[in-house]
A and B are shown apart, each in its own frame.
Chain A
Amino acid sequence: MIQGTTTPGLPRAARVATLLVPIAFLLVFFAYPVIAIVGRGLAPRWSLDLDPLGDVVTDAALRHIAWFTVWQATLSTLLTLAVGLPGAYVLARCEFPGRRVVRALVTVPFVLPTVVVGSAFVALFGDGAPLAFLGIDQTVAAILVAHVFFNYSVVVRTVGSLWSHLDPRPEEAARMLGAGRFRTFREVTLPALRPAIAAAAAVVFLFTFTSFGVILILGGPGTATLETEIYRQTTQFLNLPLAAALTVVQLVAIVLLLVLTSWIEGRQRVTLSLRAANETARRVRTAGARAFLAANLTVMALLLGVPIAVLVERSFDTPSGFGLDFYRALGEVHAGSTLFVEPVHAIANSVRFAVAATVIAVVVGGCAAFALASSRRRGLDALVSLPLGVSAVTVGFGFLITLDHPPVDLRGSWWLVPIAQALVAVPFVVRVMTPVLRAIDPRLRDAAATLGASPARVWREVDLPIVARAVLVAAGFAFAISLGEFGATVFIVRPDQPTLPVLVYRLLGQPGPLNFGGAMAASVILMALTAVAILGIERFRVGTVGSF
């Protein structure tokens, strides 16, 4: 039953390689830069000075920042799970027309630049806005709603991808034996889903723990988290010692969290029997089920649909009535300037970076997932997720002072952007792939081997089909992440090849309706691009289902 006693049919050399690839990647592009920049802050002349760390503990304002960071991230995670789990169920198990489109659409918020979403939320909740009566503008409530908006798809996709392949027969057996709906869920479904839920929760926590734009734009002045404070201390005050101390606090918190979730994930590792998604989905029949589906779709429409609708509406709402002026302006405003980028080029840049980042993330993350699934190396699990919890500015500034000599002189290099994006995407790849890989029934392999299949053939015919679709789901996620990624790349010296989020940011930085409208139009293009990419990847999935 317990994994780790059997080894997947990979040759030993391949297994060592799968372990080395992620470790080398993280050492060079994460550990080394972060240690160097923290070292510059805490041990400027090779003698350790821990006073700044003491300040974080004794200074009431800093302590408050640390506490608020953990508090808002915990609450955001719980809320996202509460709203996202029913959504994951509906999209995984309920058969209804347009399911695939809905599943692709819920991912769109995830890639939107925070400046743009912030602007949509202000347009909804701000002074004089339609929902101003709720009074949540510049409050923690606004932050929490925005965090749920952004991370909903993390829960839906991470948990949903396992849920849709969960064998429904144990549940049916439990119901048959007289267990109620809730008891069946608690005692049969929940334990099976536990690893995926823990994985999703960890990711959402890390994302909200290091949330930046949402905190600044929606939290109002005076709201600070470790992330915003590290940014302020590094980029405004050049107070490297304090920034380093705060980074250490961030790291400690994340390691604690990862150890905890890793323990939850590992505590009950059952081998699940997985089924093809189309075998598990049920058409909605009863009135209760219909109401449940309707309620969930309504939540999605309100929470995810309304802010997006606001953005789309504003991209067409020109001073001279509804029209395409802002889309046209994208190709005209700033023309002839170095600031100008043809929208087509911004799209091409975005796609190019995203393809490169996806390839890197899938290779590195895929290797890590294999290593994780084939043994009990729990440390690696935590290690690959660390980059999500460390401030982008810390990593970015770390890059500058470390990757500056051949053979890895990456400063100003094209590759810096996809590498930084891949750092963020790898944990997703690992978290999507590992539960699926772990759940492969070893008896299938044993049976194949008994029947005379070589290890390579066992791998090819048993593991690969299951792996292939996990890879595609992971790749879709990685692609979406890199498409919308902005935080990590903005601090890194980059060549003049702006992506769509950068274009949005540039336009928002200048006054006048054409700039603002252009930013909205570019955001809508970014959303459309994401939806198309995800839909395309979802199509691929269908072809692989039969191989289960």
Chain B
Amino acid sequence: MRRLLFVVLLATASATAGLVAAPAASAASSTTITLVTHDSFAVSKPVLAAFTKQTGITVKILQAGDAGAALNQVILTKSNPIGDVFFGVDNTLLSRALDQGVFTKYAPAALSTVPNEYQLDPSHRLTPIDHGDVCINYDKQWFAKEKLAVPKSLDDLTEPAYKGRLVVENPATSSPGLAFQLATIARYGENGWRAYWSKLRANDVKVDDGWESAYDGDFSQGANHGTFPLVVSYASSPPAAVYYSKPQPKTSPIGTMLDSCFRQVEFAGVLKGTEHQAAARKLVDFMLSERFQADVPLQMFVFPVRDGTPLPAVFTKFAQVATKPLSLQPADISAHRDAWIEQWTDTVLR
């Protein structure tokens, strides 16, 4: 008995010692800055290492939940910031981020390489880094097998032929869900979008809480081989479906309904109160650099904002990009977002 207790104590003691030693070993010698971001952020390790080599700055990445949760953490801690740079404000959150005054002004020189359509913050506190479209995806095989035409427009989705074929995400709990709701507001206007959703509801649209349930659970090309051939997802889902398959198919099993796309732009900014202003600015510069921008597509499955950035083959072959995506003014979104979600819930769920 006593020997057993001793073994337990010894095991715990050595485990604790190991724990204490581990963080101490990773103490940095040069400047270390903290990048606060959401769970989907990713960059190639060699690309990040190149930045450290060039500048002597080490970047610590803190992933703090989804985009909304991460931004709110930064807002909540603005008197004592948890990091130096934030990445992951999108255009649906842009106005809140600016109104709360958590970012300082910085306009990188490389902004000149970014088309005006992405430069949504004239006060230059937030720098556009990438964009991605939320679109309806369709299962090519399903439509071929059923000998049914693929819907071309948002209006088509209310036709009886597509009854019970579309699965969307709840805008109250999902960011692509919100983007698609905003797409319908951009298309049908402040006065028409609720009527459109009433028609979708009458046409048996299915609502899931999040992207995972909709895509993996209900979409007929998802992991569960569900019964819905139409799903709200991303313009980058067709290339991702190829890239994350083994062996990779010759064509993507998924298509994009270009009429349904809502453009999301993601921004980075230097957090107010940082003690490493210069280093933080260098990181924002770096995120607009050719190297980082070229890395963006295969890491986060979004598109670079920098003009002339080469796209990987899987994107040029399998991704379709809407020439005229739907969009709304960030200030408009910020002013009405909560009420819109409430109205959506009333129209579609209650």
Which residues of A does B touch, CB under 8 Å?
40, 115, 118-119, 122-123, 126-129, 216-217, 220-222, 228, 232, 234-238, 314, 319-320, 325, 329, 333-334, 336-340, 352, 355-356, 359, 393, 397, 400-401, 404-405, 411-414, 464-465, 468, 472, 490-496, 505-506, 508-517, 540, 543-544, 547
Contact = CB atoms under 8 A, between A and B. Distances in A.
Contact of A329 (B75, B216, B243, B246): B246
B69 A510 contact: no
A496 to B, nearest CB: 5
B244 A515 contact: yes
A494 B34 CA distance: 11
B28 interface: no
A128 B225 contact: yes
B224 A122 contact: yes
Contacts of A122: 213, 217, 224
A391 B128 CA distance: 34
A28 B66 CA distance: 27
Contacts of A40: 76
Given A40-B76, A222-B349, A237-B338, 4 more contacts: A338-B48, A496-B61, A510-B240, A512-B240
Interface stretch (B183-191, B203-211, B286-294): B203-211
A413 B27 CA distance: 12
B5 A468 contact: yes
Contacts of B63: 494, 496
Contacts of B77: 400-401, 404, 411
A354 B253 CA distance: 41
B328 interface: no
Contacts of B112: none
A185 to B, nearest CB: 34
A359 B16 contact: yes
B95 to A, nearest CB: 12
B19 A352 contact: yes
B112 to A, nearest CB: 28
B291 to A, nearest CB: 14
Contacts of B237: 511
A411 B82 contact: yes
A500 to B, nearest CB: 15
A128 B226 contact: yes
B299 interface: yes
Nearest to A337: B42
A359 B39 contact: no
Contacts of B181: none
A126 B217 contact: yes
Q: How large is the interface on B (under 10, 10 to 19, 20 to 34, 35 or more residues)?
A: 35 or more
A140 B128 CA distance: 43
B211 to A, nearest CB: 7
A312 B50 CA distance: 40
A337 B244 contact: no
A514 B61 CA distance: 25
Contact of A491 (B69, B218, B244, B299): B69
B285 interface: no
B308 interface: no
Contacts of B209: 216-217, 220-221
Given A216-B209, A468-B4, A401 B76 contact: yes
A391 to B, nearest CB: 13
B245 interface: yes
A543 to B, nearest CB: 6
B215 to A, nearest CB: 6
B19 A356 contact: yes
A412 B62 contact: yes
Interface string B27-41: 000000010100111
30 contacts: A119-B213, A123-B217, A126-B226, A127-B218, A127-B227, A128-B225, A128-B226, A129-B224, A221-B348, A234-B69, A234-B72, A235-B66, A320-B246, A325-B246, A338-B45, A339-B299, A352-B22, A356-B19, A400-B76, A404-B77, A414-B19, A464-B1, A465-B1, A494-B64, A508-B212, A510-B301, A511-B222, A512-B240, A516-B223, A543-B1
A544 B240 contact: no
Given A217-B209, A334-B42, A222 B345 contact: yes
B12 interface: yes
Interface string B214-242: 01111000111111100001000100111
B244 A547 contact: no
Contacts of A405: 80
A235 B36 contact: no
